[in-house]
Structure 1
Amino acid sequence: MKICTPSVVRWGAWSILLACLGVSAGGCPSRCTCRPEAKEVICSGKHLNSVPEGFSSDAKRLDLSYNKLKTVGRRQFSGLQLLQELDLSDNLISMMEVEAFQGLKNLRTLRIKNNRLKIIPVGVFAGLSSLRFLDLSQNEILVFLDYTFKDMSNLQILEASENDLVFISQRAFFGLTSLVEFNLDRSNLTSIPTEALSQLPNLTRLRMLRIYIPSLPNNAFRRLHKLRSVIISSWPMLDTLGSSSLAGLNLTSLVISNCNLSTVPYAALRHLAYLRFLDLSYNPITVIQGNLLGDLLRLQELHLAGGSLLRIEPGAFRGLSNFRTLNISSNQLTTLEENAFHSVGNLQVLRLDSNPLACDCRLLWVVRRRLRLNFDGFQPTCSTPDAVRLRQFRDFSEKELPRLFTCRPARILDRRPQEARVEEGTNVLFSCKADGDPAPAITWISSHKNVFSPVGRIRVLPNGTLEVRYAQVQDSGAYQCLAGNAAGNDSLTVGLYVKGVPRNRSIPIFSDDTLIIATTMGFLSFLSSVAICFVFMFFWSQSKGQIKHTATIDFVPRSSMGGGGEGGEGGRFTMKLI
């Protein structure tokens, strides 16, 4: 505490108090609250129309939020050289002059959130070489111009969410060599600002929410070698990821949620050998295919909640030896088979709740681990069969599991021999109906081990029937129907023999009748053309008045052998126009 001098006493009791606390008489504007111990000046919510004067020069924090400030003038705070934090949030600021913050060489945090800024002139942030955190969110900013942030070499976090951004210039982020986190939510961008982002060599975390971009192009994040976390969420139009869109990144965490992906983007993900956390929740993905995630060697967590999952194929997580957490809650899954995993012994957390689970032998492995597995507080519940409907996994005793969680092996119903002997071009159907619990899957294969799909000339119909359309000689052979489920398989073999149809070696291009018709049609066309010419000449001559109506034409006929030439006798005829 300072010693009060006689000169200080003259200022009166209030001045004495301020002096004894170490604050000058003009160190606290009348409508603000000052905390000398913390060197804070609080002017929040005071209905101020302009920045007040009389701040103590040793203030370290100034709060001007929730006022009615409209502009920030040039060198507005130049007297506060020790200021470390400035809050201008929730005002009406629509303009900031060049060098508005010049002199604040020690400023670490600047908040200009929720104002009316539409554009930031180049040079506004001049002098903020020590700034670490800048919040420009909830403004109306339309564009970031080249070199907007060039003097902010120590900036680490930039909040630019909730703006009307339509364009980010290629060198807008020039100079942000220390930026590690950039949040860009709810903008009007129509493409990834790839060139601008490439100016951020130390960027580690990138978040982009609520943007209407339909696809992620190849090399969308090039030169961002230190990027570790990307969050892409609420892009309702995003349905495509280029196969090299994430190439060159060393991500450990990736979120692409609340988008329009209908399949897992395997080709784009295969580049991410260091990925540990993957969230694809709330996408209309229907299946996780087998043996396509093996490149994600370090993957530990996969979240695909709230999607449209109908099936997880065998081997879906094969090769993922570090896999620990799977969240597939709120989907349309009826089961999750043990053969989907590399090793179920590694699994620690499993979210299966809010799925229409069929509690049969396929889920027995989960129920038997119900005491060791962490369901994250959400117990899976049986939907079928009726005997266990609505029962939670923790409610089952070990003794009743063999009786309740059962399956009935697949069995082909009609095993009568099927053999078709047909001519080439005939359509053939082979039936294969089977039952079992769960319902068996039907697969048809040829004698050459080709597996048939629901499309093609030879295809499998939804009811399991094999259809051979326009049978060819090379289709002859044996075909095997395989019916299988988790409890067992059954098979049936059928035969097809196709006889070739003889074909004529030569086919005439034109018949005699065709030639006569073609000649006649050509002659009639010629006469029609001549007639039209004469009609045209008649009407033309009538319009010209008095003209000659006769013409004499000399001609030399061709010889009888078809040749012309000298020695031939000439002829003459007279043509008269009627």
Structure 2
Amino acid sequence: CFYDSVIRWGALSILLQFGLCVSGGSCPSRCVCRPETKEVICSGKHLNSFPEGFSSDVRCLDLSHNKIKTVGRRQFFSLSQLQELDLSDNIISMIEVEAFQGLQNLRLLRITNNRLKILPVGVFSGLSSLRFLDLRQNEILVFLDYTFKEMVNLQTLEAEENDLVFISQRAFFGLQNLQDLNIDRSNLTSVPTEALSQLQSLTHLRMLRLTISTLPTNAFRRLRCLRSLQISNWPALDTMASDSLIGLNLTSLVISGCNLSAIPYSAFRHLVYLRYLDLSYNPITVIQGNMFGDLLRLQELHLAGGSLLRIEPGAFRGLAYFRMLNVTSNQLSTLEESVFHSVGNLQVLRLDGNPLACDCRLIWVVRRRLRLNFDGHQPTCSSPDVVSQRKFRDFSEKEVPRLFTCRPARIMARRPQEARVEEGTTVRFSCKTDGDPLPSITWISSRKNVVSPTGRIRVLPNGTLEVRFAQVQDSGTYQCLAGNAAGNDSLTVGLYVKGLPRNRTILFFSEEGWTEPSNPQAANSSAQMAKPYPFDAKTLIIATTMGFLSFLSSVAICFVFMFFWSQSKGQIKHTATIDFVPRSSMGGGGDGGEGGRFTMKLI
């Protein structure tokens, strides 16, 4: 008995040493078993089918990196204690219905990088305890109705890099506890709104590399628990409906790598809990002033790699919690202090990669260069030449006031401008300016409105005010406002319009005074073209005659065409049938009787 015990103990020690068994059973050949953790590792063993001989209390089974093609019905029925199953990196093209039946304790299932094209309804039957499902890198074309209906405790679904073209409306039915959904690189052409509306507990939604071109109204309705939405690398997305995000209470929103040319303020306005906003890699050219005021809790804005030309004053006014601005790699020449609610709250600023003009508008940044966090990327001056290519940290305190300077805006040629013209005359008022940086020019009308670049009264690109075909109601004073970061200047002009036009001319105020066009004949011809009745009686008679002749010609051509068409049909045979009905013998005779009646049919 002693020797038998020694032999049995020695054999058991050898088996344990090489990890060839697990508690309560044997270990399949070509697999490695770890009894202490109840793991069986069969990864990379060139298996063509599922091995046999598993212990009934296995908790972790790794069958990845093999050549398994099919998962049969109730393949793992005896492994009731299994909690993790990895079938990744095989060549599985079919999983039969109820393949995972019996795995009532399974928490994690990986089927990554296989050849699945379709998931039959019922394939996940019995997985009521599953928390994590990984279906990445397959060839799945569609999610059918009720595909996941029994997975009531699923929390994360990874569905990236499939060939999805359609998600049925009830595909996610039953996933009442799903919190994370990731869809990446599929062939979806529209947001599966109805399918997503089944996910009442969803908190994180990531949709990457899709070909969707617009976000429609209520694109994510009923997702009241959603807190993080990431939309990235949709190169066709150029439109967002104003209420596309209605009903959401997001704290984090990413819409990057798309084709938005302007910030969709109306779509964001209701997101009062938003803290993180990323609009990077969109061709956005301007951040307008006073448009983010409703996002009271916004802390970070990322707009890197775009086409930003300017950030208007007051862009972040009212954002008391604003901490970080990332506008690296754009086309900004400056960033004024008036952009922010309070620069004292700003902690991180990314300005690198922009053609910065280092003048008085950026002096506030330079003075805070030791307190601000540039995230390891120092801003660099592009102009003027005296400071070109110098980093902000390289400037000493003494040279900053001397180098970062501006010249106030100034209106040149301040001679009085007053035009008294007849109605219908076109007048232009000049407003030439000087200053560094280049001043902006704004015209205020006689009714105290800002004049736009379009319309009958407009501001030309060079800053000139043009009043075309002046009317009596245009009379009054107009004001030119020129301003830059260093100062403002203004000029007032007068326009007085009277009477009805006899000869329309164009008056232009230049440095030499009021002048008319150098070609008066052209002006007179323009005036003649503007007459309300440009045709005389002779012209009308000629036009009417030519129109009548054209009509007769068209009718003649039609008749000729019909004649030749009828001739091409050959001889037409006619058939005539004549029926005679004698008068009635019951008529009583006499003159009052009914006579005979002929009936003739011509075909």
TM-score, normalization by structure 1: 0.86
1:276: which partner in 2? Answer: 275
In the alignment, does 2:293 pair up with 1:325? no
Once residues 4 and 310 of structure 1 are traced to their aligned partners in structure 2, the CA distance between those partners, rounded to angstroms, is 90
Shift of 1:514: 7.3
Shift of 1:395: 1.5
User: Within 5 A, what are the aligned runs for 1:376-455?
Assistant: 376-455=375-454
The 1:415/1:75 distance shift into structure 2, 3 A limit, reads same
Once residues 253 and 549 of structure 2 are traced to their aligned partners in structure 1, the CA distance between those partners, rounded to angstroms, is 78
Work out whether residues 317 and 340 of structure 2, in 8 Å CA contact, stay in contact via their aligned partners in 1: yes
1:551: which partner in 2? Answer: none
1:173: which partner in 2? Answer: 172
Cα RMSD of the aligned pairs, angstroms, is 3.2
1:570: which partner in 2? Answer: none
1:72: which partner in 2? Answer: 71
The 1:500/1:49 distance shift into structure 2, 3 A limit, reads farther
| Helix, strand or coil at the partner of 1:346 | coil
- In the TM superposition, what whole-angstrom CA distance separates every residue of 1:330-370 from its partner, at most 9, and x where no partner exists? 11111111111111111111111111111111111111111
The 1:472/1:9 distance shift into structure 2, 3 A limit, reads same
Once residues 511 and 499 of structure 1 are traced to their aligned partners in structure 2, the CA distance between those partners, rounded to angstroms, is 32
Work out whether residues 23 and 57 of structure 2, in 8 Å CA contact, stay in contact via their aligned partners in 1: no
1:474: which partner in 2? Answer: 473
| Helix, strand or coil at the partner of 2:226 | coil
Instruction: Out of 471-480 and 14-23, give the one that drifted further.
Output: 14-23
1:150: which partner in 2? Answer: 149
Instruction: Out of 511-520 and 105-114, give the one that drifted further.
Output: 511-520
| Helix, strand or coil at the partner of 2:99 | coil
Paired residue type of 1:482:
L
User: Within 5 A, what are the aligned runs for 1:74-113?
Assistant: 74-113=73-112
Once residues 426 and 158 of structure 1 are traced to their aligned partners in structure 2, the CA distance between those partners, rounded to angstroms, is 71
Once residues 456 and 382 of structure 1 are traced to their aligned partners in structure 2, the CA distance between those partners, rounded to angstroms, is 40
Shift of 1:472: 2.1
| Helix, strand or coil at the partner of 1:474 | helix
Work out whether residues 68 and 92 of structure 1, in 8 Å CA contact, stay in contact via their aligned partners in 2: yes
Work out whether residues 22 and 33 of structure 2, in 8 Å CA contact, stay in contact via their aligned partners in 1: no
Shift of 1:466: 1.4
Paired residue type of 1:446:
S
- In the TM superposition, what whole-angstrom CA distance separates every residue of 1:361-407 from its partner, at most 9, and x where no partner exists? 11111111111111111111111111111111111122222111111
The 1:518/1:466 distance shift into structure 2, 3 A limit, reads closer
Once residues 362 and 228 of structure 1 are traced to their aligned partners in structure 2, the CA distance between those partners, rounded to angstroms, is 37
Once residues 96 and 399 of structure 1 are traced to their aligned partners in structure 2, the CA distance between those partners, rounded to angstroms, is 74
| Helix, strand or coil at the partner of 1:497 | strand
1:243: which partner in 2? Answer: 242
List alignment gaps of at least 5 residues for structure 1.
Answer: 545-578
| Helix, strand or coil at the partner of 1:231 | strand
Paired residue type of 1:44:
S
User: Within 5 A, what are the aligned runs for 1:35-434?
Assistant: 35-434=34-433
| Helix, strand or coil at the partner of 1:402 | helix
Once residues 98 and 135 of structure 1 are traced to their aligned partners in structure 2, the CA distance between those partners, rounded to angstroms, is 18
Once residues 417 and 64 of structure 2 are traced to their aligned partners in structure 1, the CA distance between those partners, rounded to angstroms, is 84
Instruction: Out of 416-425 and 16-25, give the one that drifted further.
Output: 16-25
Work out whether residues 18 and 24 of structure 1, in 8 Å CA contact, stay in contact via their aligned partners in 2: no
Shift of 1:416: 2.1
Work out whether residues 4 and 16 of structure 1, in 8 Å CA contact, stay in contact via their aligned partners in 2: no
Paired residue type of 1:379:
Q
Once residues 480 and 517 of structure 1 are traced to their aligned partners in structure 2, the CA distance between those partners, rounded to angstroms, is 50
Once residues 242 and 493 of structure 1 are traced to their aligned partners in structure 2, the CA distance between those partners, rounded to angstroms, is 43
Paired residue type of 1:388:
V
- In the TM superposition, what whole-angstrom CA distance separates every residue of 1:172-210 from its partner, at most 9, and x where no partner exists? 111111111000111111111111111111100000000
Shift of 1:496: 2.1
Paired residue type of 1:326:
L
Once residues 4 and 438 of structure 1 are traced to their aligned partners in structure 2, the CA distance between those partners, rounded to angstroms, is 100
| Helix, strand or coil at the partner of 1:128 | coil
TM-score, normalization by structure 2: 0.82
| Helix, strand or coil at the partner of 1:442 | strand
| Helix, strand or coil at the partner of 2:290 | coil
| Helix, strand or coil at the partner of 1:491 | strand
Shift of 1:502: 6.2
Shift of 1:46: 1.0
Work out whether residues 137 and 160 of structure 2, in 8 Å CA contact, stay in contact via their aligned partners in 1: yes
1:496: which partner in 2? Answer: 495
Work out whether residues 381 and 389 of structure 2, in 8 Å CA contact, stay in contact via their aligned partners in 1: yes
Once residues 4 and 493 of structure 1 are traced to their aligned partners in structure 2, the CA distance between those partners, rounded to angstroms, is 118
Shift of 1:512: 11
2:587: which partner in 1? Answer: none
Paired residue type of 1:395:
D
Once residues 433 and 79 of structure 1 are traced to their aligned partners in structure 2, the CA distance between those partners, rounded to angstroms, is 89
Shift of 1:429: 1.9
The 1:51/1:483 distance shift into structure 2, 3 A limit, reads same
| Helix, strand or coil at the partner of 1:344 | coil
1:567: which partner in 2? Answer: none
Identity of aligned residues (%): 75
Work out whether residues 436 and 485 of structure 1, in 8 Å CA contact, stay in contact via their aligned partners in 2: yes
The 1:94/1:314 distance shift into structure 2, 3 A limit, reads same
Once residues 165 and 4 of structure 1 are traced to their aligned partners in structure 2, the CA distance between those partners, rounded to angstroms, is 66
| Helix, strand or coil at the partner of 1:409 | strand
Work out whether residues 312 and 340 of structure 1, in 8 Å CA contact, stay in contact via their aligned partners in 2: yes
The 1:470/1:5 distance shift into structure 2, 3 A limit, reads farther
Paired residue type of 1:494:
V
Once residues 524 and 452 of structure 1 are traced to their aligned partners in structure 2, the CA distance between those partners, rounded to angstroms, is 49
Once residues 524 and 186 of structure 1 are traced to their aligned partners in structure 2, the CA distance between those partners, rounded to angstroms, is 62
Once residues 407 and 523 of structure 1 are traced to their aligned partners in structure 2, the CA distance between those partners, rounded to angstroms, is 73
The 1:258/1:19 distance shift into structure 2, 3 A limit, reads closer
List alignment gaps of at least 5 residues for structure 2.
Answer: 503-531, 573-603
Paired residue type of 1:314:
P
Shift of 1:25: 9.4
